[in-house]
Structure 1
Amino acid sequence: MILCQSAIGGARMFFVLGILAAAASSANVPADDALANITAGHLLCSNPDATTRTCTTIDTYSLAADGTITDAGELMISETPLISLTTTAIVHIENGAICGTMREADLLNGKVRLNGELLPTDRNAAVVAKLVEKYGSMFGRQACETVSLIDGKLLKFGQIERVDIKLPGKPVKWVAAGDGYKVGPRAPASESQAARQ
């Protein structure tokens, strides 16, 4: 989620692209090829938990006939209660990275959910206004996220234009829309270990 993820606790996404010829099957798409995965209709799940099928962020990409890529990204803001923010932005691929300019309008149009339910309009506006106030200094800057396969692990690295901060990589996974992943907290460590045994 380029617009907000880089600003809210981590690294939150323009160049017109041609649509790749036939979409390859999931097995044939390299995990570190963002455009190929976007073209194949995959969603990008950050901090995936196979036990609960949850992610801290899910980016759902739409590729238009003219090559325009739209990213509808949902970001978990709070685990308890579960609060998430969804924003929509235009992104592009630049040197293999997913990039976009952080715009105030995109955040102002954001939708906040509490335990999966949309907040009423007035409460939504109040929460978004606080986020705009807090992260306004990031507007107008390009943020990019690179997905890299390192030592067998798929990691996402974020960078914000004119911000000299090296953000750590976070684990990610490309998933299909029908895989049942949603934004939510990870399982406690004990449950995750038990599920792997």
Structure 2
Amino acid sequence: MLLALALALLAPVQADAVPDPLAPAKAGRIRCIDPDRGARTCGTIVRYTLRGDGAFDALVTGVVNRDPLIVIEYSTFGQVRDGAVCSRIRPADFNAGKLTSSGTALSPALETSTRLKLMEALQPLAGHERCYRDSGAGEVAVNVTIDGLLRPEMSQTAIWVLPEDGYAPGR
């Protein structure tokens, strides 16, 4: 699960004839990864801030533990290239992230153990570039590459939702 969150990072890529993968973000939508439409929850929610040169900043909120439900919120950045959304997996982004449970800060002991597990899960991917490429519109399979190599086992489902749709991290 921690690795899935790490992989839920983000990454756009853009070329002249390739559709803009962050067009929904430009229209005010947020990306919901691993959605449960009935419960209005996402494994990870990504809010993009576009910089206009193909680069973006992102605020990522995702589930790192299900019982108890622990959520991390962290900031990262990346670039759109060749129709894919790409970012480097930086443990420092996660390490600086805010961990909460039901909106409340974790106890020092739980925060330390959770952060340690998260850093261990991220280690194999640290420093590698991860790119997302949507396979269509609506609820879509998202193909993931690590350093340019397709990783089918890391594919995810994602939808674009409006902030007022009420989606929150969960599952």
1:105 to 84, 88, 92: 92
2:4 pairs, out of 1, 8, 13, with: 8
Provide the alpha-carbon RMSD of the alignment.
3.1
TM-score by length of 2: 0.79
The yes-or-no answer on 1:171 pairing with 2:157 is: yes
Change in CA separation of 1:169 and 1:129 when aligned onto 2, cut-off 3 Å: closer
Matched to 2:41, the amino acid is: T
Shift in Å at residue 87 of structure 1?
Answer: 2.1
Question: Is residue 79 of structure 2 the alignment partner of residue 79 of structure 1?
Answer: no
Aligned counterpart, 1:93? 80
Shift of 1:142: 0.3
For structure 1, the residue ranges without an aligned partner over 5 or more in a row are: 18-31, 186-197
The alpha carbon displacement at 1:95 in A equals 1.2
Cα pair distance change 1:16/1:98, threshold 3 Å: closer
Give the aligned partner of residue 145 of structure 2: 159
**Partners of 1:101 and 1:143 within 8 A in 2:** yes
Secondary structure at the residue paired with 1:41?
A: coil
Residue 149 of structure 1: CA displacement?
1.4
Which stretch shows the higher mean deviation, 82-91 or 61-70?
61-70
**Unaligned 5+ residue runs, structure 2?**
none
When structure 1 is superposed on structure 2, of 97-106 and 141-150 the one drifting more is 141-150
Percent identity between matched residues is 27
Return the alpha-carbon distance in structure 1 between the equivalents of residues 13 and 132 of structure 2. Answer: 18
2:122 and 2:64 map into 1 onto residues whose CA distance is 14
Distance 1:97 1:136 in 2: 23
Residues 11, 159 of structure 1: 8 Å contact kept? no
Higher gyration radius (CA): 1
More strand by share: 2
Relative to the length of structure 1, the TM-score reads 0.70
Would the aligned equivalents of 1:78 and 1:84 in 2 still touch at CA under 8 Å? Answer: yes
Per mean C-alpha deviation after superposition, the further-off stretch among 163-172 and 79-88 is 163-172
* Partners of 2:154 and 2:118 in 1: CA distance: 23
Give the secondary-structure state (helix, strand or coil) at the position aligned to 1:56: strand
The letter for the 1-side match of 2:169 is V
- What secondary structure does 2:47 align onto? strand
Aligned to 1:51: 38
Cα distance between partner residues in 2 of 1:48 and 1:87: 19
Indicate which of 78, 102, 106 corresponds to 1:115: 102
Match of 2:26 in 1: 39
Q: What amino acid sits opposite 1:81 in the alignment?
A: P
In structure 2, distance between residues paired with 1:91 and 1:184: 25
Shift, 1:10, TM fit? 7.5
Matches of 1:16 and 1:8, distance apart in 2: 21
Q: 1:138 to 1:170 in 2, by over 3 A?
A: closer
